[in-house]
Chains A and B, each alone.
Chain A
Amino acid sequence: MIGVLWRGAGGMRAQQVQVDSLANDIANVNTNGYKQARVNFADLVYRPVEEGGMPVDHPPAPARPPALGAGVKVASIDKDFSQGTLVQTGDPLNLAIQGDGFFVVVDQAGNRYLTRDGNFHRDDAGYVVNASGYYLLGSDGNPLSLPPEAENIAVTPDGTITGVINGASQDLGYLDLYAVTNPGGLEAAGDNLFRETAASGQVFYGMPGAPGAPIPGAPATAGTTGPLGTLRSGYLEAANVDLAATMTKMIVAQRAYELNSRSVRVADEMWGLANNLRR
């Protein structure tokens, strides 16, 4: 009975993780560049029944002895990095990536983050920063800054930032996109930011629309990647949360939770019966 109780409880806990994750997706349905998560389940180990001293038939070899499963676990939670829809904002420093890649921003302490949230603006010193005030890196690896007198700023799909200074149009800076071999391995750091991990793999960078090259210091065998995405100035990438699919998953999770709570209840009733063998 103890086994049934734990399997039921484990099942309830797994569905709770699913509901938590779905609730987070729904909460971020209006967050720019948010990527929905997916909870993956797997069954746990199987134990031969005889170990429990149960009366079982011993099948003749080579048939396997009956084994009991130990329930379910959350195998992994990964991010779905599919493209979100682009929403027009009209602000030229609002950038959306169409295709693969991330912007790189650094905080005041110099920590590097990847993000798909292209909601940038100029701060008082002329630096291009995100909503948290983190600096956007230009292609030279330094925070991108724009002269305060520059007007009519525009960003081309390949990452060239142009502006008009004293009536003359000129290039003000260049943007690179970064990519990792396994975006699913990135660690979500909050504020729409992702942190590189060992699981996210090799980092590549390059001009938007061109193949990515290994960042300096990477092993020579790393090769290049396929083409990075291109930039859309004046657009933001919306969250890729599919509300209808999320609600459906929510219903499934709730029912699965109920099923497991039912098996806990039945186990409890059975235990009660065993306890009342002798009244």
Chain B
Amino acid sequence: MLRGLYLASTGMVAQEMRQDVISNNLANATTPGFKGETATVRSFPEMLLQRMADNKATPIGPFSPGVMIDGIHTNFTPGTLTETGQATDLALMQPGVGVTPAFFTVRTPGGLAYTRNGNFHLDANGVLVTAEGYPVQGQNGDITFRNQYTNELMLEPHFKVDSNGQVIIHWPDQQGLQQEYPLDYLQITTFANADLPLLQRQGDNLFAAPAGVQPLPAANVQVRQGWLEQANIDPAREMVDMLSVLRSYEANQKVIQTEDQTLGKSVNEVGSLR
């Protein structure tokens, strides 16, 4: 019976952790490029119970000592794209179903990181950066909006990014003609499918690749300027999950109460003389 108490309490703890994950998803329901997570629960490895009698063990059957969190898995499916009209907003579009997600590459103090959040800005030096100020990477490093012929700093938002990820500065000259200067290609990264679960979430919408995970150049990716990818959270699904968490939690609580009552009876009533 004591075993039953512990068993039900692992159930409560596991459901609480599922709720932790759901609440994080809901808090980030409007975070661009956010990828939702699911906590999966599984039972502890089963053990074979044996009855000890007459100095020998008789197997009774398998028993599981409760549940634990198996893992927290990131759902990498793309979120919907919404148009913002801002030149510094970029979104990645990958045609096809079940394709490995591609990421923008960002230089952080801790090394390269990867993000689906294309909500970028220009900083004081004309460098394309994330909201935290980390430079977005092109094939040749940071993307600085400076015309390399004239050393002209470009004012927002006189650049375009074509669907291949090429960044092009453009400006009207004194005669009103459009001049263009190809600056760089965005560094768009992907990973082997098996490596995706190894990516570490850094916060700030960033993923980091641990040692041994090789970033690969992404192919067949379209960049859309003036669009942002929304979080891939499905509120209806999260609500249903949340209710199922609540009810499972409640069921486990009831089990504990029942176990406690039974335990109370056996401790206080069995063998009492009245």
Task: Point out residues on A near B: beta carbons under 8 Å.
Answer: 1, 3-4, 7-8, 10-11, 14-15, 18, 38, 40-46, 49, 54-57, 59, 62-64, 66-72, 75-76, 78, 80-82, 100, 179, 181-185, 198-202, 204, 210-212, 221-227, 252-253, 255-256, 259-260, 262-263, 266-267, 269-270, 273-274, 276-279
Contact = CB atoms under 8 A, between A and B. Distances in A.
B153 A42 contact: no
A66 B72 contact: yes
Interface of B: 10, 12-17, 19-24, 26-32, 34, 37, 39, 42, 44, 66-72, 85-86, 117, 119, 121-126, 131-132, 146-147, 150-158, 171-172, 174, 197-205, 210-213, 235, 238-239, 242-243, 245-246, 249-250, 253, 256-257, 260
Contacts of A38: 86
A8 B23 contact: yes
Given A41-B32, A46-B200, A46-B201, 15 more contacts: A42-B203, A62-B210, A63-B197, A66-B69, A66-B71, A67-B72, A81-B156, A181-B155, A184-B156, A198-B124, A201-B123, A223-B151, A224-B150, A262-B26, A270-B16
Contacts of B205: 42-43
B150 A68 contact: no
A64 B152 contact: no
Given A40-B131, A69-B201, A263 B156 contact: no
A40 B23 contact: no
B10 A7 contact: no
28 contacts: A4-B20, A4-B23, A7-B20, A8-B27, A42-B205, A43-B24, A43-B205, A46-B201, A46-B203, A54-B68, A55-B44, A55-B68, A63-B71, A67-B201, A68-B72, A69-B203, A71-B27, A75-B204, A76-B131, A81-B156, A182-B123, A222-B153, A223-B147, A227-B171, A262-B242, A270-B19, A270-B245, A278-B257
Given A8-B27, A46-B203, A40 B32 contact: yes
Contacts of B172: 226-227
Most buried by A among B10, B27, B132, B212: B27
Given A67-B72, A224-B152, A225-B152, A42 B31 contact: yes
Q: Give chain A's interface secondary structure class.
A: mixed
A235 B45 CA distance: 76
Contact of A42 (B15, B117, B147, B242): B117
Contacts, number: 243
A33 B261 CA distance: 71
Contacts of A67: 72, 200-201
Contact of A179 (B12, B121, B155, B174): B155
Contacts of A211: 152
A57 B77 CA distance: 25
Contacts of B123: 182, 185, 199, 201
A223 B26 contact: no
A41 B28 contact: yes
B24 A7 contact: yes
B30 A221 contact: no
Given A14-B27, A62-B198, A181 B17 contact: no
